Amino acid sequence: MILKEIINMPPVKRGKQGLSDADDEEEDYRKRRDRNNEAVKKSRFKSKQKTQETFTRVSKLKAENQMLEEKVKTLTKDLQFLKDLFMEYASNSQNPKFQGIDLDKLLADIPDDKDTKPGKSSH
């Protein structure tokens, strides 16, 4: 009779909260997958955010570069105008300060418009 009682006994539940080993493994696997899915979402979000920040920075730097190039053009024109004005004044002046001075050589040390273009060096 004891044998009959043992055979009819319900199975012994093991592990957490009465789950079998297979259920434990499946639950662990599901937790790992959920954590991994969250990590992937976070990583992709950060990657997109960094890409957007890079595009924003590139746009800002392009605009700043364009503004600086315009400023260089304006200053180059101003410099040429002042050089021409000075040459006109000095060549027509009776002022003894300008006697014996090679004005062309003096102004040759100041870069012209063609020397300030991108990719050119003044030396």
Instruction: Give the pLDDT confidence of 42-53 residue by residue, as tens digits.
Output: 999 999 999 999
Q: Is the pTM of this model over 0.75?
A: no
Distance of alpha carbon 5 from alpha carbon 102, whole angstroms:
124
Cβ atoms within 10 Å, residue 104: 9
Residue 16 covered by a domain: no
Give 10's pLDDT tier (boundaries 50, 70, 90).
Answer: low
Residue 61 covered by a domain: yes
In which domain, by residue range, is 83 found? 23-94
Distance of alpha carbon 2 from alpha carbon 17, whole angstroms:
28
Residue 122 covered by a domain: no
Indicate the number of domains in the chain. 1
